[in-house]
Amino acid sequence: MSGFGRGDVFLADCPARLAVELIADKWTVVVLYGLSEGPVRHGELIELIGGISRKMLTQTLRRLEAHGLIRRHAYAEVPPRVEYELTALGATLIDPIHTLTEWARANGDAVLDALDADPEPVADNR
């Protein structure tokens, strides 16, 4: 049995909480998925993802690299060429991302329907 109770997993200093916060970022999952089929250049990721600024992509790539999920490879060429790829650790997230994507496909309409519905306000029982 592990030394963590169920509630301990998301304590502020817990590695699991850090990992969840990292992958919960708006662009992390999209960028990881964009790298799932092999090395990709920055500009190719911009086109593949759509809707992400160059600055935000750069910040996301740096954060993922710092956390060991992707690797940056700069080639000594003119003009310079840089590619990004998943590390072995980053690759372990692809199956969970596929599962989440399938859930989103199957339930996306229901989520939008619930958003469009006019539910009764929930009472605050504090």
Taking the chain (126 residues) in runs of 10, the rounded mean pLDDT of each run is: 55 74 88 95 95 96 96 92 96 93 92 81 58
Per-residue model confidence (pLDDT) at position 120 = 62
Domain 8-116 has CATH 3.90.1300.10: no
Q: Which residue has the tokens 């840089």?
A: 82
Please report, for the chain, the start and end positions of each structural domain, with discontinuous segments joined by +. Answer: 8-116
Residues 6+ apart with CB under 8 A from 93: 23, 29, 32, 69
Residue pair 93/30 in contact by the 8 Å Cβ criterion: no
